[in-house]
């Protein structure tokens, strides 16, 4: 789990490189979330590791709000 003052080390890239922990900019909010792609339904699961926050799904072919991947997390420092 990450805390508000945790540091993350990430590889800066806008590409989705498989399921994992990513730094995202979604609707102007910077966040770290676990991404899991369901390729059969073209749905991206955005999963909160911290149970205090909700997880949600985006249907990629219908989403009106842009999701920008900033990079994949390599390490975290708590």
Which domains does the chain carry?
7-77 (2.10.109.10)
Asked whether residue 13 carries a pLDDT value surpassing 90, the answer given is yes
Report residue 4's pLDDT band, with 50, 70 and 90 as the boundaries: confident
Nearest to 56 by CA among 66, 64, 46: 46
DSSP state of 5: T
More reliable by pLDDT, 64 or 48: 48
- Measured CA angle at 65 (ends 62, 71), to 5 deg: 105
Distance from C-alpha of 36 to C-alpha of 51, rounded to nearest angstrom? 17
Query: What is the pLDDT averaged over residues 53-64?
Result: 88
- Please state the rounded mean pLDDT for residues 58-66: 84
Cross-strand bridge partners of residue 28: none
């Amino acid at each position: 789990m990450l805390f508000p003052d945790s540091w993350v080390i990430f590889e800066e890239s806008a590409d989705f490189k498989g399921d994992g922990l990513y730094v995202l900019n979604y609707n102007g909010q910077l966040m770290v979330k676990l991404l899991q792609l369901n390729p059969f339904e073209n749905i991206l699961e955005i999963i909160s590791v911290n149970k205090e926050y909700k997880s949600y799904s985006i249907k990629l072919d219908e989403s009106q709000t842009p999701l920008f991947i900033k990079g994949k997390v390599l390490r975290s420092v708590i």
